[in-house]
């Protein structure tokens, strides 16, 4: 949530180059191309939003950023370093700086452990602190995440979803993270408390200079918190740029379709006059369509879209798109 987002300056916290992640399909006879060649950077203190329908590869990108999945191809550099090239000890230490918080507030909490033990666990794994120092840090984080001290003795089932998500934030603070992947972190929470949890993420970012990869299918949430945003479809980015620009002046038909499909009307400054109704399901990532992978659902698709993969072009400062007709007349007059 930096002041100006068009071209953030400085050294990236993370740099992703040509990232591909493949899985064997169920039964193992085919290959799921979950992430199929993405490039991006995240700058210090920046929130990088990732949006797209379910199945577009957002969580897979997030898990790779947090070091939970290896790249099948490509590189992820953390402050310039390839962690795969570090010694085991260096790796263990560095990896702790890149954390992920999931949609399910229970995902990282052991139901049989007290909240205090859940807070201590990552510090024990990281090592280097005395028992007393760890307990002090645990209580400090609990307080910073807006939780009462007496909750430390409780178990996860005794807490609300919002409180558990606060514990998940408190757990990673003592690790001095650089980047936190927030994967649909408010989607499972009651609408009434989403705002306060987003505010907590915002204040943590300001206080600790965190960078976020903020993943959501809900555009209004991502638009609210992100400096830049990437629109993901079938494992690739269709569009990426400063959030205001992407939301207000989208260049890719898929972005327009996502904006048109928002169930809650977007604030006036985020609305676009063009509308595209998104028909059908997202195709299988086992065999994505040739050429432009959005072509089977695109109202502007032409013969060329089947043959040629559209280039990744910078149409406006820091605003990239992958569409043969982005910015041309074809785009504004569907067949
Ligand atoms: N471990 C896995 N094994 C096989 N396929 C997977 C695995 N994880 C994800 N996928 C597939 O990869 C694609 C992208 O998934 P995911 O990253 O979870 O997307 P999103 O978070 O955008 O919904 C989906 O088709 C999903 O079924
Ligand atoms: S390249 Fe063709 S199919 Fe793809 S988004 Fe652009 S117009 Fe649609
Ligand atoms: Mg997901």
Model confidence pLDDT, tens digit, residues 4-21: 445 456 799 999 999 999
pLDDT, position 265: 52
Is residue 256 a part of any domain in this protein?
no
Phi, psi at 267, each rounded to 5°: -55, 150
Model confidence pLDDT, tens digit, residues 96-155: 999 999 999 999 999 999 999 999 999 998 888 999 999 999 999 999 999 999 999 999
The whole-chain average pLDDT of the chain stands at 91
Atom of ligand 2 nearest to the CA of 324: 1
Angle at 104 between CA 98 and CA 108, to 5 degrees: 50
Contact between residue 138 and residue 116 where contact means Cβ atoms under 8 Å apart: yes
pLDDT, position 334: 43
pLDDT, position 273: 59
Q: Give the integer Cα–Cα distance in Å for 222 and 48.
A: 9
Contact between residue 276 and residue 333 where contact means Cβ atoms under 8 Å apart: no
pLDDT higher for 261 or 215? 215
The CB of 325 under 6 Å from ligand 2? The reply is: yes
| Res 267 pLDDT > 60 | no
Structural domain that includes position 53: 14-97+176-250
Phi, psi at 311, each rounded to 5°: -70, 155
Model confidence pLDDT, tens digit, residues 247-257: 989 999 999 99
Is residue 193 a part of any domain in this protein?
yes
**How many distinct structural domains can be found in the chain?**
1
| Res 217 pLDDT > 90 | no
Q: How many helices (H) and strands (E) does the chain have?
A: 11, 12
Is residue 228 a part of any domain in this protein?
yes
The CB of 250 under 6 Å from ligand 2? The reply is: no
Is residue 1 a part of any domain in this protein?
no
300 CA → ligand 2 middle, Å: 6
Is residue 47 a part of any domain in this protein?
yes
Contact between residue 227 and residue 2 where contact means Cβ atoms under 8 Å apart: yes
Is residue 311 a part of any domain in this protein?
no
The CB of 234 under 6 Å from ligand 2? The reply is: no
Residue 81: its H or E element: strand 81-82
pLDDT band with cut points at 50, 70 and 90 for residue 331: low
pLDDT, position 225: 93
Q: Give the integer Cα–Cα distance in Å for 76 and 270.
A: 32
231 CA → ligand 3 middle, Å: 14
Residue 162: its H or E element: helix 161-172
Atom of ligand 1 nearest to the CA of 26: 4
Which residue out of 32, 63, 71, 184 has the highest number of ligand 1 atoms within 8 Å of its CB and is therefore the one to mutate?
32
pLDDT band with cut points at 50, 70 and 90 for residue 264: low
Model confidence pLDDT, tens digit, residues 22-71: 999 888 899 999 999 999 999 999 999 999 999 999 999 999 999 999 99
pLDDT higher for 1 or 175? 175
CATH of the domain at 186: 3.40.50.300
| Res 275 pLDDT > 80 | no
Beta pairing partners, 207: none
250 CA → ligand 3 middle, Å: 23
| Res 206 pLDDT > 80 | yes
% of the chain at pLDDT higher than 90? 79
| Res 329 pLDDT > 90 | no
Is the whole model's pTM more than 0.85, yes or no? Answer: yes
235 CA → ligand 1 middle, Å: 9
Which residue out of 239, 324, 327 has the highest number of ligand 2 atoms within 8 Å of its CB and is therefore the one to mutate?
324
Mean pLDDT of 308-313: 97
| Res 229 pLDDT > 60 | yes
Q: Give the integer Cα–Cα distance in Å for 83 and 95.
A: 8
Of 178-192, 222-236, 321-335, least confident by mean pLDDT is 321-335
Residue 127: its H or E element: none
pLDDT, position 27: 84
Matching residue, tokens 């992703």:
16
Report CA torsion sign: 23, 24, 26, 30: positive
């Amino acid at each position: 949530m930096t002041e100006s987002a068009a071209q953030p300056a400085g050294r990236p916290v993370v740099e992703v180059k040509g990232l591909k992640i493949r899985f064997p399909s169920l039964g193992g006879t085919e290959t799921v191309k979950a992430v199929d060649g993405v490039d991006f950077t995240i700058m210090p203190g920046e929130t990088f939003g990732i949006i797209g329908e379910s199945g577009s590869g957002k969580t897979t990108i997030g898990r790779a950023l947090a070091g939970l999945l290896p790249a099948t191809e490509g590189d992820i550099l953390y402050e310039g370093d390839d962690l795969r090239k570090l010694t085991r000890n260096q790796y263990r230490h560095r990896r702790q700086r890149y954390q992920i918080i999931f949609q399910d507030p229970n995902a990282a909490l052991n139901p049989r452990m007290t909240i205090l033990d859940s807070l201590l666990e990552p510090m024990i794994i990281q090592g280097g602190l005395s028992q007393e120092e760890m307990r002090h840090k645990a209580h400090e984080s609990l307080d910073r995440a807006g939780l009462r001290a007496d909750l430390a003795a409780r178990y996860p089932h005794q807490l609300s979803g919002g409180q558990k998500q606060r514990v998940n934030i408190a757990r990673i603070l003592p690790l001095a993270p650089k980047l936190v992947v927030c994967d649909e972190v408010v989607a499972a929470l009651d609408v009434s408390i989403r705002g306060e949890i987003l505010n907590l993420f915002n204040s943590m970012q300001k206080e600790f200079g965190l960078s976020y990869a903020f993943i959501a299918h809900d555009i209004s949430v991502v638009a609210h918190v992100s400096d830049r945003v990437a629109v993901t479809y079938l494992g690739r980015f269709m569009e990426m740029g400063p959030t205001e620009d992407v939301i207000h002046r989208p260049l890719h038909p898929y972005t327009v379709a996502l904006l048109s499909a928002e169930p809650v009307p977007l604030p006036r400054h985020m609305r676009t006059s063009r509308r595209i109704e998104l028909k059908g399901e997202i195709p299988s990532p086992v065999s994505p369509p040739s050429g432009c992978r959005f072509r089977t659902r695109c109202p502007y698709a032409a013969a060329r879209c089947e043959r040629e993969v559209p280039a990744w072009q910078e149409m406006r400062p820091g605003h990239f798109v992958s569409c043969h007709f982005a910015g041309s007349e074809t785009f504004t007059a569907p067949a």
